[in-house]
Amino acid sequence: MRKTNVLVRIILIIAILISLVLSYLIWTNNQRYERRSDTESAVNTALISNQQALNQVFVPTEVIHVDRQGGQKLVYNHKENLVLEIRKLISKWSFRSSHRSTTRYNDLLKQTDSLQLVYSDQLSTQLFGEVTKQDSLKSSPTDHAFDRIIFGLDDDPTQVYFLNDQTQTVWQSRVSKATAAPITALIEKCDFKAKVTQEVLSGQPRLFFQEQVSLQPYSYLINRRNETMYISALMSSDSNANVESRESGGQTVYYGGGSYHNQLIVDHRSDQLEFVDNSRTTVPESLNRLQESGFTMLNSIGNPLTDIRYYSVDDTKKTISFRSFVEGFPIFQQSDFGAVKISFSRSGSHIKFSSRVLQVPVPAGSDLVTLPATNTVLQKLLSAGYTKDKLQDLVIGYQWVTNQSESDIVDLTPTYYAKINDRWQTYQDWINDKTGVAN
């Protein structure tokens, strides 16, 4: 009997030990799984966030509706983001790969009952395929640069056209599962519609407002981000752990990385910064790679991208710039270069950006600002001595002016901006100083 009791106790002890071992294995394996799941979740969240930002930055900046009589209107909706809503609908269409079109460029510009989605500068069709989830365009072996997309609204579209304004080249893509009715409904709901034509400046069509246009001024509370945030975002890798600084006048220069190949130059007077990475010597070879690499560097700064839009590119000089927008119009004088300007070269990459970030709108004057028709502004510039061939661009934009009574508030006032000698100024400033007349 005693032998039986001893045997039972031994069996119980063994069972308990086995139970403990199994429990340990279950707990540890579960923790590993949870850690792996958390890591995968974080990576997936980052990828989704990055894709959303990419989709938000590379968007058309103008939507032009051409009616059945050929009249053109710039349309906008203050209550919803029109370009994002249109692109959401287009993403449901099925695109085939694009090919050279025999349709004439000028005929498409005048196509009645159509919609034009216009970008501030050239975009890659492969990048367009990425943001619209069209694999046939994204993975196409051939890439094309275009400035505007045109498709008909009179019936369900079967063709979408990609137009290059510089070369007047046209590509087209056959589409299926496309319907124009939801887009037409969005256009009809727009609360801003201005009569426009497209006149040639510097060899490209530019938007000309045919009548006076009244726009709302805005005021925003701005946030001046601390430079330590940029040091952490741009110079915090293991190789850059030791960061030194030197001050000169109103500037502070931070040095980091092996052989101090990284520099962050902070101008405290203008809140403008420049990050130089001499170790990044790879130059993007294609327009698509230039725009993707530019976006990656834009994202690395860490500034909010809510109001930032792709604005210009120079594939020859390997530069790309982004600008803040308000209610569909670009903001000027936030800095000397917009919001962010990025350049690539064999000697390294440069990012110029501003630490002034639009935060929240604050009550502003309720009176609308009425601007003259574009031709009226053009004639004033010509009368001041400027010639049309020197005028690279003429747009309506918002002037960034620091509030005189509150430095943390910026006033945004609509006016016309002219680009002469690769420099943007208000048309009044060009008329007053006439610095571009003699050049």
pLDDT tens string for the chain (439 positions)?
A: 444 554 545 555 555 555 555 554 444 444 333 333 333 343 344 444 677 889 999 999 999 999 999 999 999 999 999 999 999 999 999 999 999 999 999 999 999 999 999 999 999 999 999 999 999 999 999 999 999 999 999 889 999 999 999 999 999 999 999 999 999 999 999 999 999 999 999 999 999 999 999 999 999 999 989 999 999 899 876 554 688 889 988 899 999 876 668 899 999 988 999 999 998 899 999 999 999 999 999 999 999 998 999 999 999 999 999 999 999 999 998 887 788 999 999 999 999 999 988 988 886 767 899 999 999 999 999 999 999 999 999 999 999 988 877 888 999 999 999 999 999 999 999 999 876 676 5
Cα 355 off chain centre by: 17
Contacts of 3 (CB under 8 A, 6+ apart): none
Same domain, 124 and 70: yes
Same domain, 67 and 192: yes
pTM for the model stands at 0.86
3-state secondary structure of 207: strand
In a domain, 207, yes or no: no
Same domain, 227 and 182: no
Query: What residue type is assigned to position 60 of the chain?
Result: P
Same domain, 180 and 240: no
Same domain, 238 and 353: yes
Same domain, 240 and 302: yes
In a domain, 26, yes or no: no
Same domain, 191 and 241: no
Same domain, 292 and 349: yes
Q: What is the pLDDT of residues 365-379, one digit of tens each?
A: 678 999 999 999 999
Question: E-assigned strands of 210-327?
Answer: 213-215, 218-224, 244-248, 251-256, 262-267, 272-277, 308-314, 319-326
3-state secondary structure of 296: helix
Q: What is the pLDDT of residues 224-262, one digit of tens each?
A: 899 999 998 998 765 546 888 899 888 999 998 766 688
- DSSP letters spanning 249-268: TTEEEEEESGGG-EEEEEET
What is the chain's percent helix, strand, coil content, to nearest 5?
30, 40, 30
167 backbone dihedrals φ, ψ, rounded to 5°? -100, -10
Question: E-assigned strands of 154-226?
Answer: 159-164, 169-176, 192-201, 204-209, 213-215, 218-224
In a domain, 352, yes or no: yes
pLDDT at site 128:
97
Q: Let me know: does 227 contact 245? Beta carbons within 8 Å.
A: no
Question: E-assigned strands of 47-184?
Answer: 62-66, 72-76, 94-95, 99-100, 114-124, 145-152, 159-164, 169-176
Q: Domain containing 243 — which CATH number?
A: 3.30.310.160
Same domain, 153 and 192: yes
Same domain, 189 and 232: no
3-state secondary structure of 311: strand
Among residues 196, 212, 242, the one where a domain terminates is 196
In a domain, 425, yes or no: no
Other residues' Cβ atoms within 10 Å of the Cβ of residue 96? 15
Q: What is the pLDDT of residues 282-338, one digit of tens each?
A: 999 999 999 999 999 999 999 999 899 999 999 999 999 999 999 999 999 888 778
Same domain, 166 and 248: no
Work out how many domains the chain is built from and give that number: 2
In a domain, 390, yes or no: no
Among residues 310, 341, 359, the one where a domain terminates is 359
pLDDT at site 9:
53
pLDDT at site 250:
87
Same domain, 236 and 335: yes
In a domain, 130, yes or no: yes
Range of the domain at 354: 222-359
pLDDT at site 13:
55
In a domain, 125, yes or no: yes
Among residues 311, 344, 359, the one where a domain terminates is 359
Contacts of 40 (CB under 8 A, 6+ apart): none
In a domain, 438, yes or no: no
Q: Let me know: does 108 contact 170? Beta carbons within 8 Å.
A: yes
